[in-house]
A and B are shown apart, each in its own frame.
Chain A
Amino acid sequence: MKRFATFWWDFVVGDDWRVAAGIVVAIGLTALLATTSIPAWWLLPLAVAAVLWTSLKRAAG
């Protein structure tokens, strides 16, 4: 059971769980912004770039 859970965790989340967490937060914030009158399309691409760079910097010491 533990191996099964570990496999799916590795499969979906991968090496850096913070990337998955960052994406969930970014989509949540995008959904919140989309309910206002402010255009929300720019938020997710910028958040994706920020999440990726943060993870890369961590991996590159």
Chain B
Amino acid sequence: MLSAFLASAVEMVEALTIVLAMGVTRGWRAALAGAGAATLALAAIVAVLGPALTVIPIEALRLVVGALLLVFGLQWLRKAILRASGWRALRDEDAVYARRAAEARGAQHELRAGLDWYGFTISFKGVLLEGLEVAFIVLTFGSTQGSIPLAAAGAAAAVVLVVVAGIVVHGPLSRVPENALAFAVGVMLTTFGTFWGAEGAGVDWPGDDASLPGVLGFVLLVSLTFVTALRRRRRLAPA
């Protein structure tokens, strides 16, 4: 549930920036309609695929889910480590907002179904694409732990929190420590991916589930060591 919550928080901060830019420049009706339609599409994906995953035998499910979570988790972790060590620029929500808003101001107005089509489609795509990773995490964590509704509730709680924060701040959430959240999500996805992937491959973990904190500690330690090593490498690199 925590993994789904954190992943959802990161993705929704990014989606909020897009919806805000569309709302302010193109009108709130189209922006909110696009965001709402995308949320419904994501809920439908989880509702349709969730029950389908429960019929797959648990060993096969853990192998496939473990491998996918590992690949996904390492994508998150790789990006977060490169950003934390200065090899990649941190995401700047204010800059993304300004760029999106400038593009939106220059785009043509076209009405479809009574909505500004540009505002609707950009909001829809933004929320759908950012939310797809969250839907994937909800499905994989939920199916292997036997509770998709709980994982979905974690993701939904983050959506509510981010939307409320967006209304309060009345702008992009540039002060959210996005990279720290992404780092935590990467560590968790990699940990569970390693654990389930190995189990699915036929491994017996010493102490069964009790070894999970050990895997978490190992992944965290390795990741922090890599951040330190890459920072040192950055300092020594020629300017």
List the interface of chain A (C-beta within 8 A of B).
11-16, 19-20, 23-24, 27-28, 30-31, 34-35, 39-41, 43-45, 48-49, 51-53, 55-56, 59-61
B161 within 8 A of A: no
A45:B215 contact, CB within 8 angstroms: yes
B81 within 8 A of A: yes
B124 smallest CB distance to A (angstroms): 15
Q: For chain A, what secondary structure do more than half of its interface residues adopt (helix, strand, loop), or is it mixed?
A: helix
Chain B 197-239, CB-CB to A under 8 Å as 1, else 0, gives 1101111111000010001001100110010001001100100
Residues of B within 8 A of A (CB): 63, 66-68, 70-72, 74-75, 77-79, 81-82, 85, 87-88, 132-133, 190, 194, 197-198, 200-206, 211, 215, 218-219, 222-223, 226, 230, 233-234, 237
What are the residues of chain B within 8 A of A43 when measuring CB–CB? 198
Main secondary structure of the interface of B (DSSP, over half): helix
Known contacts A48-B219, A56-B226, A30 near B203 by CB under 8 Å: yes
Q: Is B87 a contact partner of A60 (Cβ separation < 8 A)?
A: yes
Q: How far is it, in angstroms, between the C-alpha of A45 and the C-alpha of B233 when the chains are bound?
A: 24
Given contacts A14-B78, A35-B202, A45-B219, 7 further A-B contacts (CB under 8 A): A30-B197, A31-B201, A40-B203, A44-B198, A52-B190, A55-B74, A56-B78
Complex Cα gap A52–B205 (Å): 22
Complex CA gap A18/B176 in Å reads 31
CB distance from A41 to the nearest CB of B (A): 5
Nearest A residue (CB) for B78: A55
Rounded to whole angstroms, the CA-CA distance of A35 and B204 in the bound complex is 11
What are the 6 tightest A-B residue pairs by CB atom distance, in nearest-first order?
A34-B202, A31-B201, A14-B75, A30-B201, A44-B198, A49-B222
